[in-house]
Every structure is written in C-alpha cells, then in structure tokens.
Amino acid sequence: MTRPLLIGLTGSIGMGKSTVADMFERAGVPVFDADKEVRAMQGPGGELVPAIEAEFPGSTGDEGVLRDALGQQVFGDPEALGRLEAIVHPAVAKRRGAFLIEHAGQDMVVFDIPLLFEKGGHEAVDVVVVVSAPAQTQRERVLARPGMTPDKFAHILTLQVPDAEKRERADYVIDTGTPLAETEASVRTLIDHLRDQGRS
Ligand SMILES: CC(C)(COP(=O)(O)OP(=O)(O)OC[C@H]1O[C@@H](n2cnc3c(N)ncnc32)[C@H](O)[C@@H]1O)[C@@H](O)C(=O)NCCC(=O)NCCS
Ligand SMILES: Nc1ncnc2c1ncn2[C@@H]1O[C@H](COP(=O)(O)OP(=O)(O)OP(=O)(O)O)[C@@H](O)[C@H]1O
C-alpha cells in the first residue's frame, strides 16, 4: 500500500517555520503543526493542563497554561524542561499518529516540528526541509516579539541544534531571508520537484 511522502519541516527560533508551513498548506499539502497541537492541549480546558499543574504548581489558570510563567520555570532549568517534555511529547506523538491516519490517502504531508533534529524525529520522515535566514534577520524577528529578551533568545539558541548544522543535515533548505513571494515560489518549486520524484 502506498503512503504519503513524509516531509519534516524544521528550523531554529524565528526562522519562519510557521510561515513556510502556511505556504505548504495553501499549496494543498496537509500540515501537522506540533506547536499548534501543544498550544491546544495547554489552552483552556486542554488535556495536558492538569498534569502540568500537578508537576509545576501555579503554572496554569483559567486560560490554561500560563506560557510566560511556565517558560520562565523551564527555560534555564534543563531538569524542569525535561519533566515538561515528558508530559508534552508523548501527547504530541499520539496526535501525529492520528493526523497520519486521517491523511493516509494524500501524496505528501508536512510535519512542522521545531525540535525535529533535537528529538530524533528526522529519522521518522522521508525528507527533511530546513527553513533558514541570516542570523541577523533571525535576531531582529525574534527580538521584535513581545516578552522576548536578548538573554532568553540566547538561551533558547543553546537548546537548539545550530542553524549551520541544520542546514548541513537538511535534504532541502528554504531561504526565508528573502521577500515572502520568493520564499513561496521556492516552496511551490520544491513541492513540484517532490511530486516529480514520486512519479519516477
Ligand atoms: C515552555 C512553554 C510553555 C513556553 O511557551 P512560549 O509560548 O513562551 O514559547 P514557545 O513555545 O513559542 O517557544 C519559544 C521558542 O522556544 C523553543 N522551544 C520550546 N520548547 C522547547 C524545548 N523543549 N527545547 C528547545 N526549544 C524549545 C520553540 O521552538 C521556540 O523557538 C512551551 O515552549 C512548551 O510547552 N515547551 C515544551 C514543549 C515543547 O517541547 N514544545 C516544542 C516542540 S513541540
Ligand atoms: N521570506 C520569508 N519567509 C518566512 N517568514 C518571513 C519572510 N520574510 C519575513 N518573514 C517574517 O518572519 C517571521 C517568521 O516567523 P514564524 O512565526 O514563521 O517563525 P517560526 O520559525 O515559526 O518561529 P518559532 O520557532 O519561534 O515558533 C514572520 O513574521 C514572517 O512574516
């Protein structure tokens, strides 16, 4: 039985993963967005909220997980981050399995996974696509976000496989340092190329 080509989409903080994932979606390729799933499960009434409250008392409220507060507890404390990941990652894996069953008839699907290399997910996909932009562009994008500080940005970078290594390990790199229209054209070209390969 044929199955969809599994495309892993990743990139460091602020490199444009979500934006590029939207481009795949607009081109008709179903996208599993790991961050979105995490947010849904951590949001109001989310299935992970009780377990996170039990492990990190005071880190949730009526609106679900208080992300800034929890981030302050776990970014900077590897042991605490590990405990959070042990709650979150198995639940994401379950949802990923359900997504795959739902889209089993497609020719390709995208998994938008921030920690694809860090957590070994690259071994479970057929093709790895890395989004990347110059470090200065990345820095400007990230520091423009509310609540972000140079220290927090620097720390998150230490938790992630460096951009240069990601680029080296990628099957394809999508450049996001260019105007959006150019990036979207590269995404369309890549999809056509993968379809052609699938036929040959
Ligand atoms: C701690 C939380 C609540 C903070 O939320 P917040 O909205 O403030 O930050 P956000 O999720 O946008 O993350 C900011 C940046 O840190 C990176 N990041 C998040 N979690 C991790 C992690 N476990 N390891 C390395 N980088 C991470 C993200 O990729 C992003 O680039 C949240 O990041 C979380 O629940 N993380 C653990 C789950 C996880 O591993 N998610 C990422 C992959 S699914
Ligand atoms: N050519 C481009 N491709 C992608 N994004 C671009 C481009 N030009 C400008 N941007 C902007 O850069 C930002 C990228 O943010 P995005 O949320 O997509 O990054 P991300 O990699 O998903 O971040 P994080 O890992 O922190 O969740 C967006 O505001 C987007 O509009």
Residue 1 pLDDT: 60
pLDDT digits (tens, 9 = 90+) for 152-188: 999 999 999 999 999 999 999 999 999 999 999 999 9
Is residue 198 over pLDDT 90? Answer: no
- What is the average pLDDT value for the chain, to the nearest integer? 95
Nearest CA, atom 29, ligand 1? 114
Residue 18 marked ligand-binding? yes
Residue 148 marked ligand-binding? no
Residue 2 pLDDT: 81
Residue 200 pLDDT: 63
Residue 189 marked ligand-binding? no
Torsion region of 38: left, alpha or beta (phi above 0 gives left; psi -120 to 50 gives alpha): alpha
Q: What is the CATH number of the domain that holds 134?
A: 3.40.50.300
Average pLDDT score over residue span 123-133: 96
CA of 182, nearest ligand number: 2
Q: Is 148 in the pocket of ligand 1 (CB under 6 A)?
A: no
Residues 15, 150: Cα–Cα separation, whole Å: 16
In 3D space, the residue among 188, 155, 194 whose CA is nearest the CA of residue 12 turns out to be: 155
Ligand 2 residue neighbourhood (C-beta within 6 Å): 11, 13-20, 35, 114, 141, 176, 178-180, 183
Residue 15 marked ligand-binding? yes
Q: Is 40 in the pocket of ligand 1 (CB under 6 A)?
A: no
Classify strands 31-33 and 172-175 as parallel, antiparallel or unpaired: unpaired
CA of 113, nearest ligand number: 1
The H-or-E segment that residue 79 falls in is: helix 78-102
pLDDT digits (tens, 9 = 90+) for 6-21: 999 999 999 999 999 9
Pocket-testing residue among 31, 39, 141, ligand 2, by greatest number of atoms within 8 A of Cβ: 141
The domain tally of the chain equals: 1
Residues 4, 147: Cα–Cα separation, whole Å: 39
SS3 category, 157: helix
CA of 36, nearest ligand number: 1
Which ligand 1 atom minimizes the distance to the CA of 39?
A: 35
Phi and psi angles of residue 43, each rounded to the nearest 5 degrees, phi first = -80, -170
CB-facing half-sphere around the CA of 170: CA atoms within 13 A? 20
Q: Which domain holds residue 190?
A: 5-199
The letter for the amino acid at 51 is A
Average pLDDT score over residue span 93-118: 95
pLDDT digits (tens, 9 = 90+) for 58-83: 999 999 999 999 999 999 899 999 99
Residue 134 pLDDT: 98
Residue 16 marked ligand-binding? yes
Share of residues in the chain with pLDDT > 90 (%): 92
Tokens of 26: 């607009």
